[in-house]
Structure 1
């Protein structure tokens, strides 16, 4: 039996910053940012967004759910690929407008492009060339085999 997740009304700064009430602040689009890291290494895997339903489902199921801004749908991460993110820890920041998930993933990859992390490239800073540099040399899986003809979620 799953208990219903309820969010509290935001009443005071003290309640939000120092209290035990879960009172998340969603932006004007009804979203809250979520940083997701690998539980074992701390590596940033992705940054996504959650609406109220996604956050509630994540809390109640222990598996990451997001709101896809490009597709405008609730998204159970890994439902298609099998790379489901099992939440080991969920934290919310001081003013409750950002979420941090520490997750484990079978197959150890998170990015729909096939890399372990969605942050597989770096940007050189300072003067000189700012061409993107690949920090991951190998893909963890072949996206064509995993997703087939499913539309790519990246929007130009």
Structure 2
């Protein structure tokens, strides 16, 4: 069956959450948003493109930082309302210069930073 971006279930703003996961390590890197055009661009170009809700503009991961996400595989969840992007991450995924955005854990009721910024 040929994929059509219109078969996805977008929210009222026309967006769908996209979870980026490092294909090599399995680390969940980040969560961002895509619209139908961002999904299509990502599939066509092989570099992950998101929709910035704050800037109301497309951003291709790494276009200014060089920390590119190369798409290996895109997966759709059972409700078709969330995407999983298996990516090859070049450099940190997080704007804080950490490998992943999920760098704080709650352990015994205390926030603990479990990942330091990369050099």
Bigger share in strand: 2
Q: How many correspondences in the alignment?
A: 117
TM-aligned CA deviation for residue 124 of structure 1: 2.9
Please report the TM-score for the alignment, with normalisation by the length of structure 1. 0.70
Pair 1:39-2:23 in alignment: yes
Higher relative contact order (CA 8 A, sep 6+): 2
Aligned equivalents of 1:34 and 1:99: distance in 2? 5
Aligned equivalents of 2:78 and 2:68: distance in 1? 28
- 1:136 maps to 115
Q: Which of these two proteins has the greater Rg computed from alpha carbons?
A: 1
- 1:113 maps to 96
- Unaligned segments of structure 1, at least 5 residues: 9-22, 142-156
Runs of 4 or more above 6 Å deviation: none
| 8 A Cα contact 2:18 2:32, kept in partner | yes
> Which string of whole-angstrom CA distances, capped at 9 and with x for unpartnered residues, describes residues 82-127 of structure 1?
11100111101112111000111223x10011000000111235xx
RMSD value, Cα: 1.5
